[in-house]
Amino acid sequence: MSRNLTFAAVIAVGLLTGIKAMAADPTPAAAAKPNDKLSRILGPIKAVDTTAKTITLGGFGGGDQTVAYNDETKYMLDIPAAVTDIKVGDTLRAFSLGGGNDAGATSISPDFLNIIPTVDLNGPPFTGPFTPVDGVVATLKPLTIVTADKKTITVNIIAKTLLSKSKNATAADVKTDKFGSAIVKGDGAGRILTELHIIQPPDNN
């Protein structure tokens, strides 16, 4: 399997296992609004219907899921990045194969490192065997990040590390040869795609 396919598969598994609604606000059940619920979906983009304004994502371990989009849906597209693209204040998301995503580690050498777009920061948290390590860049030399629980981690970018970033995109960038990390609002047939991170594995050739 190529590193590009491996990249997509790792992201897919990690995000799929992270499908999880945001925790409800501690208010009475009667005040809960199903239409406000957020969830994550990730899979290969299998179909785009511009007439019906829907996008179908293939399910990993489950069925395909079709969600509607509208003029307010936001899009970001993954592209290759360089170390010089990383700035203090950026949020990085690190994935490692073989159980390297240890939340207790103080130093990591990830297989995949993404400069996270705002689109993906707005969604529900991740869980599962490929749960990434996220943090805000504190220093560049050495490269360190600070996690949400205030832990400082050194990030070592090595030869195998595939580094990517994201740029603003449009509905026209949603293609069936890419993967989609979708943040969906609502429940059932009324779900609306609010944000889509289009995953395009870095070129390792």
Residues 6+ apart with CB under 8 A from 114: 78, 92, 93, 94, 163, 164, 165, 166
How far is 185 from 34, CA to CA, in rounded Å?
A: 9
Residue 4: which H helix or E strand, with range?
helix 3-17
pLDDT in tens, 87-143: 999 999 888 766 555 667 899 998 889 898 765 665 665 544 456 788 999 999 999
Tell me the one-letter amino acid at 173. D
- Predicted pLDDT of residue 166: 86
The answer to whether position 204 is within a domain reads: no
Q: Evaluate if residue 66 carries a pLDDT over 60.
A: yes
Phi and psi of 57, rounded to 5°? -105, 135
The answer to whether position 205 is within a domain reads: no
- Predicted pLDDT of residue 122: 59
Percent of the chain with pLDDT over 70: 68
What mean pLDDT comes out for the span 2-12?
A: 52
pTM, to two decimals: 0.66
The answer to whether position 93 is within a domain reads: yes
Residue 6: which H helix or E strand, with range?
helix 3-17
Q: Evaluate if residue 203 carries a pLDDT over 80.
A: no
Long-range contacts, 185-190 (Cβ 8 Å, 24+): 185/35, 185/36, 185/37, 185/38, 186/34, 186/35, 186/36, 186/37, 187/34, 187/35, 187/37, 190/35
How far is 119 from 75, CA to CA, in rounded Å?
A: 7
Number of domains in the chain: 1
pLDDT in tens, 14-51: 443 333 333 333 444 344 455 578 887 877 899 999 99
The answer to whether position 180 is within a domain reads: yes
The answer to whether position 181 is within a domain reads: yes
What's the domain range around 73?
Answer: 3-199
26 upstream amide cis, omega within 30 of 0? no
First to last CA, the chain: 14
